[in-house]
């Protein structure tokens, strides 16, 4: 599937057969034969088509002077794991590299799913010490078509439709919420991926979960966390904004601003009440840091305090080069942690580890090709972070 886009980009839409969908605002769509393009208009389109040749002709019909371009970002590197997971490194027009992952799954009933794990930023400004993406630095937010084309690339590699999309790749989606929402609209309305098949992940940047809730999406909110004690919970904002070092059990996980756990939980409850969609806690298990039964008991107490509508997904740490953290032993700690939650009536699952032999941890593959951490764009992102916290 090719891509025809006009700069400056505002709307992401899809071209199928001979019709064109063009959106003027989130949630409103009109279908026309050939939408006029004004040179002075800032609201423009991305059109997705079945072949590049068709879109090249369409660009000619529109008029080359209108600024339309045809094509997709090329795949710079592809790595396939023994379990069928595929990680792609996509090279953008400014030569930046982003990752996307295709995860094929066959469940016990024999049905097949194909999940695309997509990035929302080039790198990540949050710099969590257990994440490979943060070690590679941050450059800029992705545009909506750069998010959508990750899903198209996965579909073409597997030669089948993507059934699920998770915004769990490189970057913090809530710090690029406008483009993420536009990409979400395109994936749902134009590529026909159900909203309930889409998950948006966040570390819980202040004031952004309520903004997301206001759009009343039917998608799952996933809160990435690593502990549950209200004295230790932090939102992992970079030291360029906050210089406070937070320590937990002697381990410096990140440089961050303290954000009360009650505030995060209140935002999550608001999301559940506004959308009717449960919130998933993506709990990263770090050996010797947060993987004991005592930690599980604390987490269960927290969840019960805030009522129903929550699910815990345990994620054993993916080892990354140069990290001081270790993956917990599954039979000794992971299963015990899961059992402790289940015994306390908490819905829990353990994420199946996929693609460990394909640099599966987020940011690992990019860091193999980009040896020097990114610095560009830091000033812009600092301003966005300050605005998010202040609003």
Cα separation, 250 vs 317, in Å, equals 18
CA–CA distance from 240 to each of 128, 174, 255, 258, 305 (Å)?
Answer: 13, 18, 9, 15, 34
Which residue, among 113, 25, 109, 9, has the nearest Cα to 68 in the 3D structure?
9
Helix, strand or coil, per DSSP, at residue 72: coil
* Rounded Cα distance, 6 and 37, in Å: 9
Tell me, yes or no, if 99 is annotated catalytic: yes
Of the residues 99, 146, 172, 182, only one is catalytic, namely 99
Q: Which residue in this structure is represented by tokens 């536009």?
A: 182
- Which residue bears the tokens 């070690």? 135
In contact, 371 and 100? CB cutoff 8 Å? no
- Report the length, in residues, of the chain: 391
Helix (H, G, I), strand (E, B) or coil at 262: helix
In the annotation, is 362 catalytic? yes
Choosing from 22, 128, 186, 362, which is the catalytic residue? 362
Three-state SS at 5: strand
Nearest to 299 by CA among 287, 320, 313, 288: 313
Residues with a catalytic annotation lie at 99, 362
């Amino acid at each position: 599937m090719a891509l025809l886009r006009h700069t400056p980009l505002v709307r992401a839409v899809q071209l199928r057969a001979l019709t064109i969908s063009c959106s003027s605002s989130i949630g409103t769509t009109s279908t026309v034969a050939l939408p006029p393009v004004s040179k002075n208009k800032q609201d423009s389109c991305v059109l997705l088509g079945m072949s590049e040749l068709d879109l090249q002709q369409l660009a000619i019909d529109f008029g080359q002077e209108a600024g339309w371009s045809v094509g997709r970002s090329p795949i710079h590197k592809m790595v396939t794991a023994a379990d069928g997971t595929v990680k792609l490194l996509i090279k953008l027009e400014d030569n930046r590299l982003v990752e996307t992952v295709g995860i094929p799954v066959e469940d016990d009933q024999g049905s097949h799913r194909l999940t695309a794990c997509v990035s929302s930023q080039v790198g990540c400004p949050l710099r969590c010490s257990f994440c490979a993406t943060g070690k590679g630095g941050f450059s800029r937010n992705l545009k909506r078509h750069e998010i959508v084309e990750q899903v198209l690339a996965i579909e073409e590699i597997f030669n089948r439709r993507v059934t699920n999309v998770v915004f769990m790749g490189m970057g913090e989606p809530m710090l690029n919420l406008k483009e993420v929402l536009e990409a979400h609209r395109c994936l749902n309305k134009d590529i026909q991926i159900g909203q309930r098949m889409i998950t948006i992940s966040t570390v819980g940047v202040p004031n952004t979960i309520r903004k997301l809730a206001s759009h009343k999406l039917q998608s799952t909110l996933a809160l990435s966390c690593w502990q549950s004690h209200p004295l230790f919970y932090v939102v992992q904002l970079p030291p360029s904004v906050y210089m406070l070092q937070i320590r937990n059990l002697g381990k410096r996980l990140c440089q961050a601003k303290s954000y009360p756990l009650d505030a995060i939980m209140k935002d999550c409850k608001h999301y559940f009440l506004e959308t009717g969609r449960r919130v998933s806690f993506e709990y990263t298990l770090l050996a010797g840091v947060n993987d004991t039964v005592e930690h599980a008991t604390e987490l269960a107490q927290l969840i019960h305090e805030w009522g129903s509508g929550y699910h815990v997904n345990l994620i054993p740490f993916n080892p990354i080069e140069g990290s001081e953290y270790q993956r917990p032993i599954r039979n000794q700690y992971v299963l015990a942690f899961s059992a402790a939650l289940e015994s306390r009536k908490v819905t829990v699952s353990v994420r199946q580890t996929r693609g460990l032999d394909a640099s599966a941890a987020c940011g690992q593959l990019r860091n193999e090709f980009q040896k020097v951490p990114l610095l560009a764009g830091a000033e812009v992102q600092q301003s966005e972070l300050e605005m998010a916290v202040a609003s």
